[in-house]
Structure 1
């Protein structure tokens, strides 16, 4: 039964968009019949027919026709004289490979030693089977061969690059953060399960293959259809077909996505005509609890070309899809079109060359929480076949797409992707892949723990921009939890394993002889090259030295009432300070100015500032760098002597309060 089913899953599950077989004209020559099935794209059927040609039963008469889905006939068959057995083996190997039956293809290619390209395809099969060292050895042997009939030299060079990329990916340290497993789905091994997207709640749309009835003679009875299912833990249960009208035995439906309200479903409907898949995008709407007859979305379909795999953005603004329509960069491209309020779809735009390549891009998905577009491509370096890539941005501007790496990708085809909107991109995601041993694309669930986050920064002196060592830096979370770090000799602080939500977070810096400083976290750069840790670099924090008076290093000069000019005694004292500054080039000055209590606060503030400035300017005029001098004014603050005694004015006290203090710092 399994072999019978595999005959018809070739496009449905293995080539990501199921299609029905074209009717093949039955001929009495079994080899011609096998070739016809091969040309029609029914590769697994062709492989079985080639097997009957190569190893017929003894009593089959040459004139008997080979039934399309039959086992080997009872008669014998003689190969035409002009066709070698190895030529048919090579065709059979090609059939297995194109049907993605890698083990059978590998063993059959190895039976074709005289066909040089069989060596190349053997390597491709071995890579798909995870035999990377064997694959590399065969690619090198193929490239070293002197046979001039080699058809895939450039492709073989690229395959070596692919194998090197695989080796690098398998060694990634962050694979320990990922947990991946195949979803449990009834009949998934035989019928595949792909393009799993949400419908409503825990209900999901699922594309699967089923056997249609009644059977139509000469046609593949197994076609893709849309199902809905319930996602419970790691299982899809209650899988029931979504009843949509179709157009007969050649029609397949799948690769669907619903609008956010669940009232409209956009899906792909396709046929296989003359060996070529032709697909279009349709929409069905829920009317009184039932789904309407599908309607062609005319604005994004083009006659003679294919459009497929529609997905709506959660905000309902755009419909993304894949198409080989004119105006692209080559093969299938990612396109997008506006979704209008009336439910219609506007004219499509190409997503651009940043996203699209000369190869094929398909199965787009937009994750709004991370502003990330995920899509599948065979036109970029990867692990083999189709790989999943991600790019951040919007419909107009995108970052350079990045390969999502192992274990998201495998050495086979990895195509469909869906992630919960509110989660991180890989916090809980579903992936379509044929990496398993089943017939077709199946769905895998991946949960990847977030990378560690590290916050780093530097604390500097406001005046000279030099790093401050041994400063205490305290980080407080919104919940009130505090974490403390100490700056090193270079002023650097480090917080490990922090939350990367830095909005409105503050750091408080304390240091002896410096003012306590609170600074809002503003990330100026993030280095995410480390696969296990993102390094977030905070903007520099500047802290200012306190104005500290040390009695042993303080010189006091006095001023006349309401004056700020320097008296002779003051100049003498300042000259002695000047000599200290010359002797100690690292010494600095802190100057503070004061007044007595007469006059308004505003006037006294100005007067004390002029007294402090008079002292500072004296030193600057004598050649002391202004960067070595700071000054502050305090007005009538902090009198040294009482200015009123028993209610009477004390002139001597006032004169001692009209002063400037020069604090010499010799550090």
Structure 2
């Protein structure tokens, strides 16, 4: 599979193995071949060749029989000068580990560590890594401490072992997180039990994907691994991949591998990785093919992202078609593989590559970038940050070289194995309808998983207070309008209201209570609390209510009417009720009611309408029991506007509304002189 293993894993041989296996004199051809495959990065084939030597067939046993702990050179044993059986077992353990066959690697590390602990102290560390990868965390911790108890200060694995203890601690904390219940994670299966593993899935739309998988070349070539990765079309239904024909991306070499593809938004270009084992190293480069009438064009190497002598891989085209993200160990990075990006030209080629910077990249390896344009979040894999082991998936919000600190996506997205190749087409959340690759459910190879996380609850809360004394107001009716929905709440004894929304926290709030003026205001979030695993709490700014005017005998009362209406509205009724209470307490008082209109309509019509408005106020008071002798009313039509109704040639609707009024004056007859 097309991944690079973690930094500690790059220490492929201890000092012992490096020296002992340089000598090939008198070595069995299987060991010579195994060493060659190991050097080229084909670890699984190397492991099998070591196994053939260690466990020969019946006809070969007499030639290869030797004691388990032989330390002297045995001429004719086939191991080579100075090589022991434990040396070969250790090298086989390394091969299995680097191929991600952890059960087999663990068994062999344990064998040599117990047989020769002083010589193979490193095996205790690697045994711990395998134990952790198999979910045996307490045993792994014990093995790490056993390694550290005998390690020298300058041992290159000492820092890695100390970090492994932190990894084990992190894993245990992740496994007890309560929010894992919000995730839905499923392993995809393959239709018709084809047996092909699939990884690096890229969503094309609907249920259509491009995936990377393994196929067997029809023409076997001696000395060439017949299994190669290729790009396939696939459909995903009910977590089952139906793999179609391979996408015919031209290649000139049978032994070349192709995969980790990305498609331009218009579907006319595919960017993909080609890699092979050569010169004792795995080298990869990024290519572009363009759709033509007869198929795909010949691959074009992207010279600005590929660097001679280095590897570039795992391209991702941003949804806006402006940038190509990729992973490379080219010079200018933080070390190992880094995340880079390059601007895309009109012809699909790339401009100068730029490193995303130290916030994203480490001295270890970062790979498989995916950029979620809708939320401005970069998702990538790394083995150089605090994680659960192997490659973990991380997110960082930002763009170009300005990024926020990367955050581990956590369990269950991440596992104790390698998690990589993240992708989603969802426009609302990076954690919805996503696919990614992981080897958590297998002995060795990457497989595809789907994941979605249920959104956290969104709670809007706030306080309603009295303007006069800043005290909380209880029993206030609160209507929150957000996302096209109206949510109702009532303030409690502390003046606080709470509503749950399922949309963005935008909209407005209307609050009302008897004897207070109704108030509407936009939602203005002054504090966001996201600490709770299930709920995000958004605190709205305090809403200040003003008490309605308490009438006194000296008060002039104004009530307002809707356009072309004369009915008494609720706020007018409240004022007239208060006025009536005063008139009852002051039996000598009388009222003068004047009716007015705005400037629209004819003079005659407005005179009638203003008369109806004045009379409506009088009738309301009479209906409550006020003596008609204490009421005088008069209509004035459009006379005497309080506000200008036209400003700079434009209609002033608010001004007109204030002119549609009834004016009520309270007065007292003069007292007779005694």
Question: What TM-score results when the alignment is normalised by the length of structure 1?
Answer: 0.75
Change (3 A) 1:461 1:358: farther
- Alignment partner for residue 639 of structure 1, among 655, 660, 665? 665
Asked whether the 8 Å contact 1:192–1:438 carries over to 2, the reply is no
Deviation readout 1:5-52 (Å, 9 max, x if unpaired) = xxxxxx458969xxxxxxxx9975433333222222221222222223
Matched with 1:283 is: 288
Please show how residues 29-428 of structure 1 align to structure 2 within 5 Å. 29-60=29-60, 77=77, 79=79, 82-112=82-112, 113=114, 114=117, 115-145=120-150, 151-185=156-190, 191-288=196-293, 290-428=295-433
Deviation readout 1:543-585 (Å, 9 max, x if unpaired) = 2222223xxxx58699xxxxxxxxxxxxxxxxxxxxxxxxxxx
Shift in Å, 1:145? 3.7
Change (3 A) 1:346 1:272: same
Q: Secondary structure in 2 aligned to 1:245?
A: coil
Change (3 A) 1:362 1:28: same
What is the CA–CA distance in structure 2 between the aligned matches of 1:267 and 1:188, rounded to whole Å?
A: 27
Change (3 A) 1:486 1:151: same
Please show how residues 641-656 of structure 1 align to structure 2 within 5 Å. 641=667, 652=670
Deviation readout 1:357-390 (Å, 9 max, x if unpaired) = 2221111111122221111111110111111011
Shift in Å, 1:355? 1.7
Q: Does 1:492 align with 2:496?
A: yes
What is the CA–CA distance in structure 1 between the aligned matches of 2:490 and 2:456, rounded to whole Å?
A: 21
What is the CA–CA distance in structure 2 between the aligned matches of 1:557 and 1:344, rounded to whole Å?
A: 79
What is the CA–CA distance in structure 1 between the aligned matches of 2:62 and 2:218, rounded to whole Å?
A: 33
Deviation readout 1:430-473 (Å, 9 max, x if unpaired) = 01111112531111011221111111222233355443344332
Shift in Å, 1:231? 1.9
Count of residues in correspondence between the two structures: 546
Change (3 A) 1:117 1:595: farther
Change (3 A) 1:80 1:285: closer
Matched with 2:476 is: 471
Q: Structure 1 stretch 458-467 or stretch 172-181: which is displaced more?
A: 458-467
Shift in Å, 1:402? 0.8
Q: Structure 1 stretch 366-375 or stretch 469-478: which is displaced more?
A: 469-478
Asked whether the 8 Å contact 2:4–2:365 carries over to 1, the reply is no
Change (3 A) 1:525 1:368: farther
What is the CA–CA distance in structure 2 between the aligned matches of 1:420 and 1:348, rounded to whole Å?
A: 25
Asked whether the 8 Å contact 1:14–1:439 carries over to 2, the reply is no
What is the CA–CA distance in structure 2 between the aligned matches of 1:557 and 1:388, rounded to whole Å?
A: 70
Q: Which has the higher contact order (CA 8 A, sep 6+)?
A: 1
Matched with 1:539 is: 541
Deviation readout 1:139-169 (Å, 9 max, x if unpaired) = 2232234677955221111111111111111
Asked whether the 8 Å contact 2:383–2:391 carries over to 1, the reply is yes
Q: Structure 1 stretch 532-541 or stretch 143-152: which is displaced more?
A: 143-152
Unaligned 5+ segments in structure 1 are 1-10, 17-24, 65-75, 559-593, 605-634, 643-650, 654-667
Change (3 A) 1:238 1:85: closer
Change (3 A) 1:325 1:455: same
Q: Secondary structure in 2 aligned to 1:638?
A: strand
- Alignment partner for residue 511 of structure 1, among 513, 532, 543? 513
Q: Secondary structure in 1 aligned to 2:88?
A: helix
Q: Does 1:455 align with 2:460?
A: yes
Question: What TM-score results when the alignment is normalised by the length of structure 2?
Answer: 0.74
Deviation readout 1:250-278 (Å, 9 max, x if unpaired) = 31111101111111101111221122122
Unaligned 5+ segments in structure 2 are 7-23, 65-75, 557-590, 595-633, 644-660
Shift in Å, 1:480? 4.7
Shift in Å, 1:523? 2.3
Change (3 A) 1:396 1:83: closer
Q: Structure 1 stretch 354-363 or stretch 480-489: which is displaced more?
A: 480-489
Matched with 1:529 is: 531
Asked whether the 8 Å contact 2:28–2:78 carries over to 1, the reply is no
Shift in Å, 1:513? 3.0
Q: Secondary structure in 2 aligned to 1:38?
A: helix
What is the CA–CA distance in structure 2 between the aligned matches of 1:602 and 1:12, rounded to whole Å?
A: 81
What is the CA–CA distance in structure 2 between the aligned matches of 1:156 and 1:188, rounded to whole Å?
A: 40
Change (3 A) 1:233 1:329: same
Shift in Å, 1:81? 7.1
Q: Secondary structure in 2 aligned to 1:347?
A: coil
Change (3 A) 1:146 1:408: closer
Change (3 A) 1:453 1:110: same
Shift in Å, 1:102? 0.4
What is the CA–CA distance in structure 1 between the aligned matches of 2:555 and 2:226, rounded to whole Å?
A: 106
Q: Secondary structure in 2 aligned to 1:640?
A: strand
What is the CA–CA distance in structure 1 between the aligned matches of 2:662 and 2:408, rounded to whole Å?
A: 69
